[in-house]
Amino acid sequence: MTGTKGTIVKLSLVVVAMYGFSYALVPIYDKFCEITGLNGKTNEVAYIGNDIQKDNRFVTIKFISNVANSAPLDFEPSVTEMTVQVGKAYNTHYVMKNNSSKQLHTTASPSVTPGKHAEYFKKVECFCFEQQTINAGEVKDLGIQFIIDNDLPHASGDIILSYTMFDITDSVKETNRL
Amino acid sequence: MSANIDHLKEEHHQPSGLMRWITTTNHKDIGSLYLWFSLLMFFVGGLMALIIRAELFQPGLQFVVPGFFNQMTTMHALIMIFGAVMPAFVGLANWQLPMMIGAPDMALPRLNNWSFWILPFAFTMLLSTLFFESGGPAAGWTLYPPLSLQGGNSMPFVIFSLHLLGASSILGAINVIATILNMRAPGMTLMKMPIFVWTWLITAFLLIASMPVLAGAITMLLTDRFYGTSFFTAAGGGDPVLFQHIFWFFGHPEVYILILPAFGIVSTIIPAFSRKKLFGYDSMVYATASIALLSFIVWAHHMFTVGMPLAGEIFFMFTTMLIAVPTGVKVFNWVATMWKGSMTFETPMLFALAFIILFTIGGFSGLMLAITPADFQYHDTYFVVAHFHYVLVPGAVFAIIAAVYYWLPKWTGKMYNETLGKVHFWMTTIFVNITFFPMHFVGLAGMPRRIPDYAVQFTDFNMIASVGAFGFGLSQLLFVYILFLTLKQPVTAEDKSWEGAEGLEWTLPSPAPYHSFDTPPKVE
Amino acid sequence: MKRLSVFLVTMLASLTTMADWEVNMPRGVTPTANAAYDLHMLIFYITVVIGIVVFGVMFYSIFHHRKSKGAKPASFHESTTVEIIWTVIPFVILVGMAIPATKTLIMMEDTRNSEITLKVTGYQWMWKYDYVEDDVAFFSKLDSDSNEARQLGSKKDVNKVDNYLLNVDNEVVLPTDTKIRILLTASDVIHAWWVPELTGKKDAIPGYVNELWIDIKKPGVYRGQCTELCGKDHGFMPIVVRAVPKQEYTKWVSLNQKNRVADKSK
C-alpha cells in the first residue's frame, strides 16, 4: 500500500497548491492588468519621475464621473474636456458635494478608457490616492495633476478618464470601532 | 445469487438496515448510494426547472415573484451540477472502476464512505436556505459579485455547502486516482485500460486541479462580505471581474468534469452494440487528455463581454476553437466504430446514439459561441441556455441513463424491460428536443437568459419549450418505474448480458459479487 | 431525428402565417451588428455542412450496417492516416473561420474618431444616459404600462400593452450616420447593455468603464434589454434607442439640454 500512500500525499499537495494558486491569481491578475491595461486602472501612487519628454502632439482628454450605489453625493468634473500637449503637466479638479446631513468618508476609483492607454496616463497628484472626508453640506474641490506619457502611440484617439466615487463611511466606522 | 449473499453474510458480519448503508465501505454499496442520491437530486432540480418553465409558459407573472424565480434558476443549476450529474458519475465510477481494472474494491474504502456521506448534509444545508426569510441564493450559480455580495443571509450557508461539496469531490477524485494507479490487475498497462477508466482518471485530475480554485474564489467572496477584504470591490481597489476570472478558471474544467466520463460511457457502449472494437483507442485517450489540458486556457470565453483587451479576446477565441479538434476526433472515431459494424439498437445504444447527435449539435452551437464577435450577440441569451442544456442533458444525462441501462444487469442480475426502455428513450429524446431546440430561436431573436418574464414576441417558442419540459419530467417517472420493475424481478441475467460487451466486468457473475475480484485476473 | 425535422418543417411553414416565429438573429443597422450577423450566418452554414456530412455517414451506417440486415462486423479499429486527416481538416476549417472573426473583432474594438460620446450607467433597475459633450442627462426606466402589467396578479393583459417590457419612459435619441462612442459603467452591480440591431452587448461594471461604438445607418426605433443578471428586476430594465437624422438630433439636443435629470427622474 506504499504506492497508494504516495499517491495520496502527492495529490493532497496538488490540492493545497491549487488552493494557494487561487489566491496567487490576485497579484497575478493585478500585474497582468498593469501590463495589458485590462481594466484601465491607473497608477495608485504618485508618479514622481521626470523622464517624460514634451512632444509636439495634442490629445483630447474627456473627464467623466460616477457616484456608486446612489450615495448622497454630487460629484462632477469641473471641465469635461481638455486638449493637452503630450508630455506636459496639467491641473484640473473635480467637485464633490455632500448632500446628506452627516459627515461622509469617500474613496474614488479611477478608470481610463481605452484601458490599454492607462499606462500613459501618469498622475502626479490625485485625490484618488487617499480617502476623503467631507462634512454635511460641504462642497470640496478635488485636484489632480497629470502628464500624458510621450510613449503614447500615435493616432490614439481620445482618452477618457473616469472616477467613481464610493461612500465608504460604514466600513471606515467599522474599522475604527475594531 | 443467493449463494453469493450467504457468502457475504458469513464473511463480513455487516450491520443490517440503515446502519449497513451508513457504515458501508463497499464500493458497490457506495456506488448505489451515489446513484440513488443523484436520482433524487435530479428530481429536486427538475422540479425547480418545472417551476421556471411554468412561469415562462406565457408572458406576465403568473406564479412566482422575480426574486423567487432567480432563486430557482440559481438552485436548479447548483443542484443539477453538484447534486445530480457529478454524483451520478462518481457512483458509476464506484461501481465500475474496480470491476473494470480487476480490483476487489476502491483503494480507500473509508474515505469513500466519507465522500458520499458529506453530500446529504451539504445539500440539506443548501436547500434549507430556500426557507430563510431572505430566501436562498439568487445571484446565479456563478455567484458574480457585487450582486452576490448583496444577497441575504443565505450566502455563508451556500458557500459552506459548496466547500463541503468541493471537499467531497476532491476526496472522491483522490480515491479514483489512487485506485486506478495502484490497483490494476497484473498486465493491465495504462494503454490497455478500458476507455471509461481513462476518462475518469483524467476527470479526477481535473477535479483535483479545479475544485480548490473554486474553494479559493468563494472564500474570497466570504471574506469580502464579512471580514472587510476587498478582492472584488472597486471601492477598496479590487475588481469584480477578477472573481469571474478565478471562477471560470475552475468553471471551464468543471464543464469537462461533467462531460468526459460521458465520453467514456459512450465509447464503451458504441463498440458493444456495433460488435466491433472502438476505433482509434489511442487517439481517443490523447483527445481526452488534450481536451482536459485545453480546458485550463479557455476560461475567459465565458466572459467575452467584460471588456478584455483585443489580444486577450483573440487568444481565448483561438484556444476555444481549438477544442473543436479533439472533440471532432472523438465524434469521428465513434462514427468509424459504427462503420461496418453489426449494430443492434437496445436502449443503451439508442441513448448513446442520441448522445452523439445531440451532443454534436451542442458542440456546433459551442463553436458558434467561440467566435468572439458573434458571442457579443449570443452571450447571456437563451442561445447559450440552449447550448449548455444540449451538452448537459442529451449529453451528460443521456450518457448516465445509457450507462445505467447498460450495467444494470451486471449490478442487479436482472434485465430491464426492453420495450419500456425504448419507450422511455423515445419520449425522453422527443421531449428534450421540444424543450431545448426552440431556445436557440428565442435566444437568437433576442431573449436574455435569467429573466422571469419576456416580451410577447417570444411567447410561442416559450410555450413549446414549457410543454416539452413537463413531458421530459413525466418521461423520467417512467424511468423510475422501469427501475422499480427491474428490481422486483428474480435474477435471470447472464454473466455477459450483451453479445458484444467487452471488459473484465463481464467475466464476473451477474450480479457481481460483493468484492469484485478477490484474486486479480490476468490481462493479456 | 426524423421527428425533429418534421417539427422544424412545421415551424418553418408556420413562419409564413405568424410573424412571431422568429428563428434567427435580426440583421443589424450598424456596421458592427451587420458584421456579427454575417459571421453568425457563415459559421452556422459551415456547421450545417459538417453536420450533414457527419450525420449522413452515421445514418448510412445505422441503416446498412445493422445486424438485422445480416451485417458482419469488420475488424479494423485503427488508422493513423485517418486520424491525421480528421485532425488536420477541422483545423484548416477553423483557421478559415478565425480569419474573418479576427478581422471583425479588430474593427469592433476600434473606437477612435467618434463624433459623440454617450455614457450609459446601469442602476438597479434602470439606465442613466449622459451625453458627455452636450450636457444632456436623464434616467430611463420601464414604462408605467408595462410595469403595471408585469406585477404578479395584475389584471392587465400583457398582450394589449404597447411593446410589453420593451418600452421606456425616456428614449435615448441618437443621430444616424455618426460614429458614436458608448461608455458603459454601473452604479451598483454588473449590468450589460444590449440592443441586438445596434451592437453586441458589453458589461457595465461598477468602478470601471467599458466602451463600444455604433454607427446607425437607418433611422428607426431599436429595442434591447439588460443582459447580465442584476437582481430581482433584471428582466425589467429595457433599452429603447430612437435613431434620427442629424438635424433632428441637433434640435432634440438643444431642447433637452440642462437639468433634464431633475425633470424626468421622478
The chains in contact with chain C, meaning 3 or more Cβ pairs closer than 8 Å, are A, B
Q: Are strands C116-123 and C180-186 parallel, antiparallel or unpaired?
A: parallel
Average pLDDT over residues B196-214: 96
Average pLDDT over residues B436-463: 95
- Chain A hits for C119, Cβ within 8 Å: 64
Size of interface A-B (CB pairs under 8 A): 100
Contact flag A23-B216 (C-beta cutoff 8 Å): yes
Residue B4 has a pLDDT of 46
Contact flag C102-B430 (C-beta cutoff 8 Å): no
Contact flag A22-B215 (C-beta cutoff 8 Å): yes
Average pLDDT over residues B472-485: 97
Question: Sheet holding A89-98: strands in order across?
Answer: A73-77, A89-98, A139-148, A121-126
Residue C20 has a pLDDT of 66
Tell me the residue length of chain A.
178
Average pLDDT over residues B408-418: 95
Q: Does B376 touch chain C (CB under 8 A)?
A: yes
The residue ranking higher by pLDDT, B228 or B476, is B476
Supply the residues of B annotated as catalytic.
76, 105, 141, 168-169, 252, 254, 256, 267, 301-302, 327, 330, 449
Average pLDDT over residues B403-408: 97
Segments of chain C scoring below 50 in pLDDT: 15-18, 261-266
SS3 content of chain A, % helix, strand, coil (to 5): 30, 40, 30
Average pLDDT over residues B242-249: 95
Query: Whole-number mean pLDDT of chain C?
Result: 89
DSSP H stretches of helix in chain C: 2-15, 31-64, 80-108, 144-149, 246-256, 260-264
From B334, which residue of chain C is nearest by alpha-carbon distance?
A: C58
Q: Is the pLDDT at A1 greater than 80, yes or no?
A: no
- Contacts (Cβ under 8 Å, ≥6 apart) of C55: B357, B360, C1
- Contacts (Cβ under 8 Å, ≥6 apart) of C205: B240, B241, B306, B307, C184, C185, C186, C190
Residue B441 has a pLDDT of 96
How many angstroms away from the CA of C250 is the closest CA of chain A?
20
Residue from A1, A4, A167 whose CB has the most chain B CBs within 10 Å, to mutate: A4
Closest Cβ–Cβ partner in B64, B353, B368 for C44: B368
From C206, which residue of chain A is nearest by alpha-carbon distance?
A: A68
Tell me the residue length of chain C.
266
Residues C62 and C71: beta-carbon distance below 8 Å? no
Average pLDDT over residues B81-87: 96
B338-347: per-residue pLDDT in tens?
999 999 999 9
Residue from A13, A16, A39, A66 whose CB has the most chain B CBs within 10 Å, to mutate: A39
- Contacts (Cβ under 8 Å, ≥6 apart) of C2: none
The chains in contact with chain B, meaning 3 or more Cβ pairs closer than 8 Å, are A, C
Residues of chain A whose beta carbon is less than 8 angstroms from a beta carbon of chain C are 39-40, 62, 64, 66-70, 80-81, 109, 111-114, 155-158, 160, 162, 164, 166
From A164, which residue of chain C is nearest by alpha-carbon distance?
A: C207
Contact flag B324-C166 (C-beta cutoff 8 Å): no
Closest Cβ–Cβ partner in C101, C206, C234 for B450: C234
d(CA B256, CA B262): 10
Q: Which amino acid is at B33?
A: L
Query: Whole-number mean pLDDT of chain B?
Result: 93
d(CA C266, CA C169): 11
Q: Which fold has domain A40-177?
A: Ctag/Cox11 (Pfam 04442) (2.60.370)
B139-168: per-residue pLDDT in tens?
999 999 999 998 788 999 999 999 999 999
| Cα distances (angstroms) measured from residue B459 to each of A155, B322, C23, C240 | 48, 37, 13, 21
Contact flag B312-A36 (C-beta cutoff 8 Å): yes
Q: What ipTM is given for this predicted complex?
A: 0.91
CB half-sphere exposure, B267, CA atoms < 13 A: 31
Q: Which residues pair with C184 in a beta bridge?
A: C120, C210
Residue C213 has a pLDDT of 96
Contact flag C40-B60 (C-beta cutoff 8 Å): no
Query: Whole-number mean pLDDT of chain A?
Result: 86
Closest Cβ–Cβ partner in C200, C225, C230 for B376: C200
If DSSP codes are grouped into helix, strand and coil, which group holds residue A112?
Answer: strand
How many angstroms away from the CA of C75 is the closest CA of chain B?
7
Q: Where are the domains of chain A?
A: 40-177
Q: Is the pLDDT at B45 greater than 80, yes or no?
A: yes
- Chain B hits for C227, Cβ within 8 Å: 379-381, 448-449
Contact flag A18-B212 (C-beta cutoff 8 Å): yes
Contact flag B62-C158 (C-beta cutoff 8 Å): no
Average pLDDT over residues B486-502: 92
Closest Cβ–Cβ partner in A39, A155, A156 for C208: A39
Distance from first CA to last CA of chain A, Å, rounded? Answer: 52
A11-48: per-residue pLDDT in tens?
999 999 999 999 999 998 888 877 776 766 766 667 76
Average pLDDT over residues B325-331: 96
Pick from B393, B392, B418: nearest CA to B473: B393
Average pLDDT over residues B193-208: 96
Looking at chain A, the number of H-run helices and the number of E-run strands are: 2, 9
Q: What's this model's pTM, rounded to 2 decimal places? A: 0.93
Residue C13 has a pLDDT of 52
Q: Determine how many CB atoms are found less than 10 A away from the CB of residue A10.
A: 15
Question: Sheet holding C136-140: strands in order across?
Answer: C136-140, C126-131, C116-123, C180-186, C210-214
Size of interface B-C (CB pairs under 8 A): 298
Contact flag C36-B307 (C-beta cutoff 8 Å): no
Contact flag C82-B336 (C-beta cutoff 8 Å): yes
Size of interface A-C (CB pairs under 8 A): 63
Confidence of residue A151 (pLDDT cuts 50, 70, 90): confident
A88-129: per-residue pLDDT in tens?
889 999 999 999 999 999 999 888 888 888 888 888 888 888
Residue A161 has a pLDDT of 92
Burial tier of C29 (Cβ tally within 10 Å: 0-12, 13-18, 19+): buried
H or E segment and range at residue B322 = helix B310-322
